[in-house]
């Protein structure tokens, strides 16, 4: 039993094939969040995208408001709001409203925007996005603290702007910034005392950057009088598990092929090498590189342990949600992770295991006492009955 304590959740882009009914896919995402809450997951994050036909949640806040009404415990995060596409005042207001509607279960995840097609439609260049995000974040954080902000940039302006409704969560809900290989996200997180959402961490290059980015966040936090906590650090990686590796491979074959096509040909994310030509090659490449787990709960545990060692420790593991398998196999995978993986990292589990060990140690000495007590109680009962019968006969 591990002495590491972790929370578990899912980072839902979402990625759905444009050849399936989007209405069905969206409601399946809601159902997944409900299922996660039912089996003990801690968090669910929903993304924002505006193009490609595969990732079509344009407003994570709207999705999460709907999901909040259908759940009661699980925490809900924007994963992420793409700041360059919004006026910062609108972002702050919408999240405060969502925080009130969900009664404190929300988290604001922010990023620069992942798809170049989105930026193109907004009339922006990809090189514009990170500077725009930095300026927006510099406005959003004081707004959430209830401060008055006057600020002008080439893309928006704030004039003595102040929120009329402050967060339900006091002093504020958690704010997180995406971080990949470059240090830009870590620097921003440290500057504002925000959490880090580290994406695609199974990839070797990302794993190599984890400790460096954490050090950058800590250094930047020190410069600005902020604090970054490892318990607020989230690492994101895809997994699908089954009872056996062969079963897991069988379950993901069709959906994985579509996912690889999207990421390689449209999303420009090199998830497998060009030399991989078929599904078996894809699976081998993803698992051999450590990018993903397609296997058993033990494989999932091994991946988390590798990430722990590579990072030096973190607080939450998020599954990068996918449509690799059908609905039932996906639900079963999440259930196996909840019961066979997440429970290994629950801080209250070791006490139960120790209590079991104590009972086994004492069994040889105390185990016969229960039988003896039952035997004595039975013997006393019949002895008392016999006395009563004798007394009754004598009378």
| Structure confidence by residue, pLDDT tens digits, 99-111 | 999 999 999 999 9
Residue 361 inside a domain? The answer is no
Q: Note the pLDDT tens digit of each residue in 136-173.
A: 999 999 999 999 999 999 999 999 999 999 999 999 99
pTM for this structure?
A: 0.92
Mean predicted lDDT score pLDDT of the chain: 95
Query: How far, in Å, CA of 161 to CA of 139, rounded?
Result: 10
CB 346 within 8 A of CB 42: no
Residue 78 inside a domain? The answer is yes
Domain extent at residue 244: 7-350
Q: Note the pLDDT tens digit of each residue in 312-344.
A: 999 999 999 999 999 999 999 999 999 999 999
CB 136 within 8 A of CB 161: no
| pLDDT computed for residue 369 by the predictor | 79
Token code pair at residue 311: 């990072």
Residue 107 inside a domain? The answer is yes
Residue 134 inside a domain? The answer is yes
Residue 60 inside a domain? The answer is yes
Kindly tell me if the per-residue pLDDT of 350 is higher than 60.
Answer: yes
Residue 376 inside a domain? The answer is no
- How many domains does one find in the chain? 1
| pLDDT computed for residue 42 by the predictor | 98
Q: Is the peptide bond before 185 cis (omega within 30 degrees of 0)?
A: no
Tokens 């639900």 correspond to 331
Residue 390 inside a domain? The answer is no
CATH number at residue 233: 3.20.20.30
Residue 286 inside a domain? The answer is yes
Name the DSSP letter for residue 278. S
Q: Note the pLDDT tens digit of each residue in 63-113.
A: 999 999 999 999 999 999 999 999 999 999 999 999 999 999 999 999 999
Average pLDDT over residues 294-314: 97
Kindly tell me if the per-residue pLDDT of 203 is higher than 80.
Answer: no
């Amino acid at each position: 039993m591990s002495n590491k304590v972790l929370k578990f959740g899912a980072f839902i882009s979402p990625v759905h094939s444009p050849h399936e009914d989007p209405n069905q896919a969206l409601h399946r995402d809601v159902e997944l969040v409900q299922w996660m809450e039912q089996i003990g997951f801690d968090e669910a994050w929903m993304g924002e995208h505006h193009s490609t036909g595969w990732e079509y949640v344009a407003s994570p806040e709207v999705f999460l408001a709907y999901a909040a009404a259908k759940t009661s415990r699980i925490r809900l995060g924007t994963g992420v709001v793409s700041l360059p596409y919004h006026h910062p005042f609108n972002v702050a207001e919408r999240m405060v409203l969502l925080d009130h509607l969900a009664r404190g279960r929300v988290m604001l995840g922010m990023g620069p925007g992942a798809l170049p097609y989105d930026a193109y439609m907004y009339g922006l260049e990809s090189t514009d996005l990170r500077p725009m995000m930095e300026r927006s974040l510099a406005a959003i954080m004081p707004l959430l603290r209830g401060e008055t902000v006057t600020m002008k940039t080439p893309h928006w302006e704030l004039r003595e702007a102040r929120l009329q409704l402050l967060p339900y969560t006091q002093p504020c809900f958690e704010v997180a910034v995406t971080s990949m290989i470059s240090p830009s996200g870590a620097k921003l997180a440290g500057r504002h005392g925000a959490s880090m959402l580290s994406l695609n961490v199974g990839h070797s290059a990302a794993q190599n950057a984890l400790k460096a980015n954490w050090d950058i966040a800590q250094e930047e936090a020190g410069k600005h009088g902020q604090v970054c906590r490892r318990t607020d650090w989230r690492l994101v990686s895809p997994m699908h598990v089954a009872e056996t590796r062969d079963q897991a491979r069988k379950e993901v074959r069709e959906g994985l092929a579509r996912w690889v096509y999207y990421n390689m040909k449209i999303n420009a994310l090199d998830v497998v090498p060009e030399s991989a030509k078929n599904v078996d090659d894809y699976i081998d490449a993803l698992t051999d590189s450590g990018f993903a787990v397609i296997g058993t709960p033990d494989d999932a545990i091994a991946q988390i342990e590798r990430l722990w060692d590579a990072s030096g420790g973190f607080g939450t593991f998020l599954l990068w949600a996918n449509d690799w398998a059908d609905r039932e196999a996906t639900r079963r995978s999440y259930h196996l992770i909840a019961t066979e993986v997440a429970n290994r990292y629950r801080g209250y589990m070791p006490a139960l295991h120790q209590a079991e060990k104590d009972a086994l140690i004492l069994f040889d000495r105390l185990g016969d006492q229960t039988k003896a007590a039952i035997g004595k109680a039975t013997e006393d009962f019949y002895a008392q009955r016999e006395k009563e019968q004798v007394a009754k006969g004598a009378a």
